[in-house]
Structure 1
């Protein structure tokens, strides 16, 4: 039996609707600028005819359950919400065709990609990695996984409120790259594995939150996500 000098981190996992077993997390992938209106508000319009999707990753340790209260993170004055539909991968896949993309899907969830926007934009404008802006502790919020094996969600309302006021309202049919296209493209770069989560992108309306704010959001037919922003440590 292997012995370690300290206890290794616990396996990150999420509950699964209707099951006692939990969904173990492998990797967290995020699709950048995948709604036209959001790309425009970020000052980086997307031309799908000449561009491909791009991705960033976060450590699984950034994952936090929906309903949690998280501390306002350090070294930022512009902490943003991003509401997203999340795809949960249930089977291994490499060079997956769009036609077969549904075969690797286990289910879906609703999630938040919380972002230190000021740090992200500084990094972006200087051509540096986004890690300090995106790979933030307790910044990958996710609901339970809703099993939908082999199903493709290509339409449904996606919305978010802060303190009851609507901030984001769109439909997943406005994704620039849809679920099939994302899985097919991402699987050219990575051997997708069970336990991978893909946050598919956020609509327009992203904005800053402050300590005490309560965030609620939903993906139609999937789940509702919630987060309370706590005081800074």
Structure 2
């Protein structure tokens, strides 16, 4: 069987996707969107995988219910009268269905509130989510240049480029070979001090690629509050885009 082959088993009404990979054991997880996935070595029979999943049925159903509830709560917040976060502040959200058909959603922030401008024919949570992403991008594009300049000077390193994109499992990454840094758009929801800590973290990898003692010592010197910032970021981890 190819290493990337997929199969589906059923846990009552729940579909569980099984992917064969180069892993040493069977791994079961419930994703943030409520989907259930198993990765397993090619040698493990499907019947054995099914028995393992069935033995964890109570956990799967509980974790899936929690994931779906979080998704529903987030979709509910992405409506007129909901709330959103920007640079650590929780702000009122209003939705204006004032864009011509086919226009790209966007959002603005003024007077302590966020306004999402969307197509009247497509004004669901997914469109509001896209509008907020445009605001996150513009916020970071304003915030990042002085931070990059400061830490490049302090560390004696050179970042060759910054890419901003939605990331669902990390706040940033650094390609130490090219010097290019990628940052999560959703950082814009967090305080500027947390954004700064991630900038310092990724640039620090240009001095030390690994998360070893030397790396932590460098972070202690350049960004002493990085542990507090990490705790703040972990308290509100990255979300997945809302599906249409």
Give the TM-score normalised by structure 2: 0.21
Higher RCO (CA 8 Å, separation ≥ 6 residues) = 1
Give the TM-score normalised by structure 1: 0.22
Q: Which has the higher helix share?
A: 2
